[in-house]
Amino acid sequence: MHDTPSKIGETPLQLTDDGYLVWRKFLKGLNLKLDEYRILCRGIIEGVYSEPMLATIIARAYYKPLKPDEIHKLTMAFVETGDTIEFEGKYIVDKHSIGGVPGNKVSLLVVPIVAAAGLKIPKTATRSITTIGTAEKMNIFAPVDLTAEEVKEVIKKAGGCIISTRKLNLAPVDDVLINIQSKLRINPISLMVASILAKKKAMNIKYMVLDIPQGRGTKVRTMKEATMLANRFIMVSESIGINLRCAITYGEQPVGHTVGVALEAREALETLQGGRPSTSLIEKSVGLAGILFEAIGITSEGNRLAKNILESGKAYKKFREIIEAQGGNRDIKIDDIPIGTYTAEIKSNANGYVVQIDNKLIMEVARRAGAPADIGAGLIIPYKGGRYVREGDTILKIFSNNEARLDKAYRFALENMPIVIEGAVRRIVRGL
Amino acid sequence: MHDTPSKIGETPLQLTDDGYLVWRKFLKGLNLKLDEYRILCRGIIEGVYSEPMLATIIARAYYKPLKPDEIHKLTMAFVETGDTIEFEGKYIVDKHSIGGVPGNKVSLLVVPIVAAAGLKIPKTATRSITTIGTAEKMNIFAPVDLTAEEVKEVIKKAGGCIISTRKLNLAPVDDVLINIQSKLRINPISLMVASILAKKKAMNIKYMVLDIPQGRGTKVRTMKEATMLANRFIMVSESIGINLRCAITYGEQPVGHTVGVALEAREALETLQGGRPSTSLIEKSVGLAGILFEAIGITSEGNRLAKNILESGKAYKKFREIIEAQGGNRDIKIDDIPIGTYTAEIKSNANGYVVQIDNKLIMEVARRAGAPADIGAGLIIPYKGGRYVREGDTILKIFSNNEARLDKAYRFALENMPIVIEGAVRRIVRGL
């Protein structure tokens, strides 16, 4: 024990308990055994490790990424720290996104489309206090913090749900790590893979489609990185018995035309009802649902089947069933969803095409307007990339329930111009 | 600003203040400018960074060591966070050890030897709550928490001192980082170099000898690592105007025959007085002092000069002057220094040579006996490596002021045998 080799830069190892030794071994980048990952995870849950020690666990994964077999073991150890839920039936499926793109309300469409096709899709989302999360959007329509018993009941009734993981105790060790990661704003791939897959494994998901938004302003910039990440997810999925397909999607601008909890809920509802369709939102939703249909083998033309289900109104009907099963008001109308009472508009100062919509700036404007805490805060982006706008057209509409915040968001947007019109003057810098 | 490239594994960068951006840049392993290190250091001092963020600073240095020019800038930024002290005279010298070897009380000998030769040696040591530190040992003889004015006065009077850094505000940013490092028990080289050199630079040290203990059971295991580390220290020293010589020393067993605050103070005093000499302690002390003498050029036979000063009693006389100047009792006698009232002895169960003394186990025995908090706790090791012992000879004597702790230390020593006698049975493992 005292003969463990030390290296320069490390204080010689002290004789102490397993939790310390395992942490140390992980830190050094050595390949742990499953039992050692169990000790590590139990230690994390039990508060054996200080916050700085937890931060070094994140840093280890950041600087020395875990190999697939290590992620496999870590994922299994993650699962073991919490509860698991078993659903009846063969086709228990799910859809997940690694995130990073504003306005990504596709789960609100994918879940009813998939459930309407007769599959069971118990979609879980982690509650987020910093981003505009799926659970928050669904919460506009119905309660989302369900217990395991309630989830099973909803799936039995409606075939689908969109719920938070709050009461499910799925891989709780992950929540501790996620907390530190969000403080540090570092989210190493290996931990991301373990985190997502452990929660799905705990829900006994058998088939899954994973959305990997790619491009400037997302988490994954190049196609090469996206492919690498997809392979990593697939390798680990296979090893834990989840049949996974990854969809690398275009992520350089928001999905649909809205950003913000209530605004996105409205847009999703409107799209389900067949009104004012947003191409990007519909195409992405039916694309993801279609991949699931093909994976399971119920059709060789998944995209078409998904589109039919959406356009026929079956998905909308299913969404109302899901809302009701989760305890919400199935008759909710778009105008029943309140949005920010204060608004401001930014108009184009030139004729031209929209050539860029900056995800980070868009999120920052929404944040300054009060999102996600203020569920009425957010943005409407009438023109997406490639569209032609005329001088004086509104290119950004900002909503908030707080006048001062609206003003801050408005001024920030004016100064930083998240939407770039070709030909327009972006900013004037004065000389002496 | 929003165009900073992100990589997979990182949440897209948010628009926020300089402290965050600089931390992020450091984390990525990019080469910071001096001004950016200043922002980082100021942020650390002002509490801008959470403990997990500080831990990632340590982890960055652990996984992606800083290059010499980066350490140079970091060291300068460290210095600027605190006060500096200017001494009169040309030869302001110092001796420091990177630590890791038990019983290393050589500073108590080197400082008076060097001061007796007419050089000025304002030796500082960081207060330690986990190791048996130099400041704690000197504190047996005199107060060590001096102010800048008091240090200058002591140097004027006695030419040397051994004091803590507590009231000096030297590179205080380092204290914050050291605190996290000791919690994590990670001490990356680049931070170690910056940490040591910044405090010396702040004291305006011009010449310095650095002790790098090497070998099994120390911080630096191989000669190659030690040489690499020495070169790193020398490169950075030169760049900040400190003339440094590194001494790579044998570190595989304790220095001298004692471990423990009071026991080591006793051994140092006894050696200065010329009683019961310990070869390793004397040779190491005069070796380090000699290197300083040669570096400055006052002799080409530094070792001999240092030994003369020690054997002539001049170093002892100087030590008494230093004690007095620091406000202690210059007439203190060995028996005035109280040691643990409870003792236990471990005897050899065979005839043979001492072939190994395990540093880590030795430290662990001392710790279990109560060191360093109990200043009377510690060990006497009558026979060092290579010595012949007979069955029944005492090979380890343990001291403590607490009977239960003594017993724990004794049992731990018996079970783990930190001193290995060739030919002796180390442990008997019973089968079924």
Structure confidence by residue, pLDDT tens digits, A223-270: 899 999 999 999 999 999 999 999 999 888 999 999 999 999 999 999
Strands B160-164 and B93-97, by their bridges, are unpaired
Nearest-angstrom CA–CA distance, B233 and B245: 9
Q: Which of residues 75-134 of A touch B (CB under 8 A)?
A: 100
Q: Please, is A354 exposed, middle or buried when counting C-beta atoms within 10 Å of its C-beta (0-12, 13-18, 19+)?
A: buried
Q: What is the pLDDT of residue B12?
A: 43
Angle at B152 between CA B149 and CA B154, to 5 degrees: 110
Closest in B12, B62, B217 to A12, CB measured: B217
Neighbour tally for A431: CB within 10 Å: 3
Q: What is the pLDDT of residue A420?
A: 87
Q: Which residues of A touch B59 (CB under 8 A)?
A: 55-56, 59-60, 62-63
Inter-chain CB proximity B5 and A221 less than 8 Å: yes
If pLDDT is split at 50, 70 and 90, which confidence band does A14 have? very low
Pairwise pLDDT comparison (A181 vs A217), residue with the higher score: A181
> B247-281 burial string, b = 16+ CB within 10 Å, else e?
bbbebbbbbbbbbbbbbbbbbbbbbbeeeeebebb
Q: What is the pLDDT of residue B173?
A: 96
CA atoms within 13 A on the CB side of B284: 30
Average pLDDT over residues A11-25: 72
For domain B340-421, which CATH number applies: 3.40.50.150, 3.40.50.300, 3.90.1170.30, 3.40.50.1100?
3.90.1170.30
Closest in A9, A53, A225 to B62, CB measured: A9
Helix (H) or strand (E) holding A125: strand A121-125
Q: Cα dist. B234→B171, B208, B246 in Å?
A: 20, 10, 8
Cβ A95 vs Cβ A123: under 8 Å: yes
Q: Which residues of B touch A187 (CB under 8 A)?
A: 9-11
The string of pLDDT tens digits covering residues A67-122 is 999 999 999 999 999 999 999 988 999 999 999 899 999 999 999 999 999 999 99
Residue A133's region, left for phi above 0, alpha for psi from -120 to 50, else beta, is beta
Nearest-angstrom CA–CA distance, A155 and A322: 9
Q: Which residues of B touch A368 (CB under 8 A)?
A: none
Nearest one of A153, A176, A175, A151 to A163, comparing CA atoms: A151
CA atoms within 13 A on the CB side of A266: 21
Strands B419-421 and B352-357, by their bridges, are antiparallel
- Tell which of B4, B8, B189 to mutate to test the A interface (max A CBs under 10 Å): B8
Nearest one of A102, A98, A270, A110 to A196, comparing CA atoms: A98
Q: What is the pLDDT of residue B5?
A: 37
Q: What is the pLDDT of residue A1?
A: 31
| B49/chain A closest Cα distance in angstroms | 10
Q: Which residues of A touch B12 (CB under 8 A)?
A: 100, 217-219, 359-360, 363
Cβ B85 vs Cβ B146: under 8 Å: no
Closest in B12, B62, B184 to A100, CB measured: B12
Inter-chain CB proximity B360 and A229 less than 8 Å: no
Q: Which of residues 140-199 of A touch B (CB under 8 A)?
A: 180, 182-189, 192
Q: Cα dist. A40→A43, A62, A81, A107, B418 in Å?
A: 5, 17, 11, 33, 30
CATH code 3.40.1030.10 for B93-334: yes
Cβ B335 vs Cβ B366: under 8 Å: no
Helix (H) or strand (E) holding A20: helix A18-27
Closest in A27, A186, A358 to B2, CB measured: A358
The third-level CATH classification (topology) of the domain covering A339-421 is Aldehyde Oxidoreductase; domain 3 (3.90.1170)
Q: Which of residues 207-236 of A touch B (CB under 8 A)?
A: 217-221, 225, 228-229
Q: What is the pLDDT of residue A430?
A: 60
Nearest-angstrom CA–CA distance, B233 and A8: 14
Tell me: cis bond preceding B372? Omega within 30 of 0 counts.
Answer: yes
Inter-chain CB proximity B8 and A53 less than 8 Å: no
Inter-chain CB proximity B14 and A185 less than 8 Å: yes
Average pLDDT, chain A: 92
Nearest one of A59, A9, A8 to B188, comparing CA atoms: A9
Pairwise pLDDT comparison (A7 vs B376), residue with the higher score: B376
Write the ipTM. 0.74
Cβ A52 vs Cβ A183: under 8 Å: no
Angle at A295 between CA A294 and CA A300, to 5 degrees: 20
Amino acid symbol at B147: T
Residue A3 has pLDDT above 70, yes or no: no
Domain ranges for chain B, please list them: 18-80, 93-334, 340-421
Domain covering A18-80 in this structure, CATH number? 1.20.970.10
Residue A290 has pLDDT above 70, yes or no: yes
Q: Given CB atoms, is A252 within the 8 Å cutoff of chain B?
A: no
Cβ A84 vs Cβ A53: under 8 Å: no
User: How many A/B residue pairs have CB atoms within 8 Å?
Assistant: 156
Rg from Cα positions in chain A: 23
| Under-70 pLDDT residues of chain B | 1-16, 424-432
Closest in A6, A59, A184 to B221, CB measured: A6
Q: Which of residues 50-79 of A touch B (CB under 8 A)?
A: 50-56, 58-60, 62-65
Q: Given CB atoms, is B285 within the 8 Å cutoff of chain A?
A: no
Q: What is the pLDDT of residue B2?
A: 33
Is A339-421 the same fold as A18-80? Answer: no
Q: Which residues of B touch A365 (CB under 8 A)?
A: none
The string of pLDDT tens digits covering residues B134-158 is 999 999 999 999 999 999 999 999 9
What is the Cα B379 distance to its own chain's centre? 19
| A20/chain B closest Cα distance in angstroms | 10
Nearest-angstrom CA–CA distance, B341 and A152: 68
Rg from Cα positions in chain B: 23
Structure tokens of B307?
């030994």
Q: Which residues pair with B166 in a beta bridge?
A: none
Average pLDDT over residues A152-181: 96
Average pLDDT over residues A208-226: 90
Inter-chain CB proximity A8 and B183 less than 8 Å: no
Inter-chain CB proximity B58 and A63 less than 8 Å: no
Structure tokens of B212?
């790098």
Q: What is the pLDDT of residue B284?
A: 93
